[in-house]
Structure 1
Amino acid sequence: MPTILHIDASARPGRSDETRFGSHSRRLSAKFVEAWRARRPHDTILYRDVGQTPPAPVTGQWIHAAFTPADQREPWMREALAESDTLVDELLAADVIVVGVPMYNFGVPAQFKAYIDNIVRVGRTFGFDRNRDGEPYWPMVPAGKQLVVLSSRGDFGYDPGERLEKSNHVEPGVRTPFAYIGITQTHSLAVEYDEFADERLQASLAQAEQSIDALVARLTAKRLAA
Structure 2
Amino acid sequence: MQILHLDSSISGAASISRILSSNIVKRLVALHPGSTVIYRDLARDPALHLSSEHLAAWQGAGAKDSLLTEDLFKGSAYLEELQESQIVVIGTPMYNLTIPTPLKAWIDRIALVGKTFHYTAKGPEGLLKNKQAYIASSRGGMYSPGNPAAPLEHQESYLIGLLGFLGIKHPTVIRAEGLAISAQVKDAAINQALEDIAAIHA
Q: TM-score, normalised by structure 2?
A: 0.89
Please name the residue that 2:157 is paired with.
172
Contact 1:144–1:185, Cα closer than 8 Å, also in 2: no
Match of 2:192 among 193, 204, 207: 207
Unpaired runs of 5+ residues, structure 2, are none
Judge conservation of contact 2:179–2:189 (CA < 8 Å) in 1: no
Partner of 1:146: 132
Supply the RMSD in Å over aligned alpha carbons. 2.0
Q: Encode CA deviations 1:99-135: one digit per residue, 9 max, x unaligned.
A: 110011111011111111111112221225xxx6443
- Report the identity percentage: 29
Deviation at 1:181, TM superposition (A): 1.8
SS at 1:185 equivalent: coil
- Runs of 4 or more off by more than 6 Å in structure 1? none
Structure 2 matches for 1:45-194, cutoff 5 A? 45-66=37-58, 68=59, 73-76=60-63, 79=69, 81-128=72-119, 133-135=121-123, 137-141=124-128, 143-156=129-142, 158-194=143-179
Give 1:206 deviation, angstroms. Answer: 0.5
Query: How many Å apart are 1:43 and its aligned residue?
Result: 0.7
Q: Which residue of 2 aligns with 1:19?
A: none
Does the aligned pair in 2 maintain the 1:5–1:96 contact within 8 Å? yes
State the one-letter code of the partner of 1:60.
S
Structure 1 equivalent of residue 32 of structure 2:
40
- Aligned mates of 1:75, 1:200 — CA distance in 2: 52
Residue in 1 aligned with 2:6?
Answer: 7
Instruction: Work out the number of aligned pairs and report it.
Output: 198
1:114-168 residue CA offsets vs partner (Å, 9 max, x unmatched): 111111112221225xxx6443x43222x11111111111112x11222221111
SS across alignment from 1:100 = strand
Q: 2 CA distance for matches of 1:154 and 1:100? A: 15
Determine which structure has more spread, i.e. the larger CA radius of gyration: 1
TM-score (norm 1): 0.80
Question: Which structure 1 segments of 5+ residues have no match?
Answer: 15-21, 221-226
Kept in 1, the 8 Å contact 2:160–2:170? The answer is no
Residue 13 of structure 1: how far off its partner (Å) = 1.4
Judge conservation of contact 1:8–1:101 (CA < 8 Å) in 2: yes
CA deviation profile, 1:7-61 (whole Å, cap 9, x unmatched): 00100111xxxxxxx0000000011112222333311111011021111111112
The code of the aligned residue for 1:33 comes to: V
